[in-house]
């Protein structure tokens, strides 16, 4: 299986690793991010397979124009992986409205802008796959992640809400919920990260799940995801006690 993949957030971390994995498997990869020099470096690593398309997903008009350029130059997008995102700690003691808004604009509205550009095209063709990268942090609230977790929870809810309608229109909508993956973002974390995965292993899980697997959600590491899914069904008294104990909050 091969075709044309468009991936956002491809300049570093898991997005870059996924782009490389698809390119080495024979796919034509259109890689987007704000950092044009990093995209050029990525494209040069697999000549002829990866094409740079610099883009700020916060700009809805720019996203629409980029998707139109991609399809005019490379044909229909077969798979879109909406991976771009960022993280800033938000605490009650230093609640930063501007930082919160920026995370909403990038993590949530950025994905919405991309969906707005690719979803009508795929529905019109009755074909295509869209994967939205959220996080296990969206399962329930965690200390210092009030903004990040809120955006990821919104992505999960949004995809759940769109799934049946996409299925009805022959669009394969998937949700990707990673745990801790070693990337420039997680390198900033000052706390222990259980079940930390290497980025290449995470990219391989995504590739296998999207090209061979079935089902709505791709999550990893599975044990960590199962623990967090269990925690979210507990009464709040128990939930907060366990989170306090495990994080020192």
Cα 5 from Cα 207, distance rounded (Å): 11
Cis amide linkage into residue 221, ω under 30° from 0: yes
Strand pairing of 28-31 and 79-82? unpaired
139 an active-site residue? no
The radius of gyration computed from the CA coordinates of the chain, to the nearest angstrom, equals 18
For residue 227, give Cα distances in angstroms to 27, 67, 144, 231: 35, 38, 19, 6
Among candidate residues 148, 163, 236, 239, the one labeled active-site is 148
Of 237, 117, 215, nearest in space to 167 by CA: 215
Strand pairing of 50-52 and 28-31? parallel
Contact between 31 and 54 (Cβ < 8 Å):
no
Of 186, 72, 64, 75, nearest in space to 119 by CA: 64
Residues with active-site annotation: 148
């Amino acid at each position: 299986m091969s075709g044309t993949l468009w991936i956002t957030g491809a300049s570093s971390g898991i997005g870059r690793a996924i782009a490389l994995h698809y390119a080495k498997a024979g796919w034509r990869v259109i890689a987007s991010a704000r950092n044009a020099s990093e995209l050029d470096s990525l494209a040069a690593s697999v000549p002829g397979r990866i094409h740079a398309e610099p883009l700020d997903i916060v700009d809805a008009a720019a996203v629409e124009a980029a998707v139109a350029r991609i399809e005019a130059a490379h044909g229909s997008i077969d798979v879109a992986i909406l991976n771009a995102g960022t993280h800033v700690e938000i605490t009650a003691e230093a609640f930063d409205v501007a930082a919160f808004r920026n995370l909403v604009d990038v993590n949530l509205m950025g994905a919405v802008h991309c969906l707005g550009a690719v979803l009508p095209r795929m529905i019109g063709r009755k074909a295509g796959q869209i994967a939205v990268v959220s996080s296990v942090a969206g399962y329930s609230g965690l200390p210092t992640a009030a903004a990040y977790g809120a955006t990821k929870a919104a992505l999960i809810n949004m995809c759940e809400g769109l799934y049946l309608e996409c299925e009805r229109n022959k669009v394969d909508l998937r949700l990707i919920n990673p745990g801790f993956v070693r990337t420039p973002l997680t390198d900033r974390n000052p706390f222990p990260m259980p079940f930390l995965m290497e980025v290449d292993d995470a990219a391989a899980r995504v590739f296998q799940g999207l090209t061979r697997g079935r089902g709505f959600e791709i999550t990893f590491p599975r044990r960590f995801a199962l623990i967090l899914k269990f925690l979210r069904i507990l009464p709040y008294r128990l939930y907060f006690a366990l989170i306090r104990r495990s994080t020192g909050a």
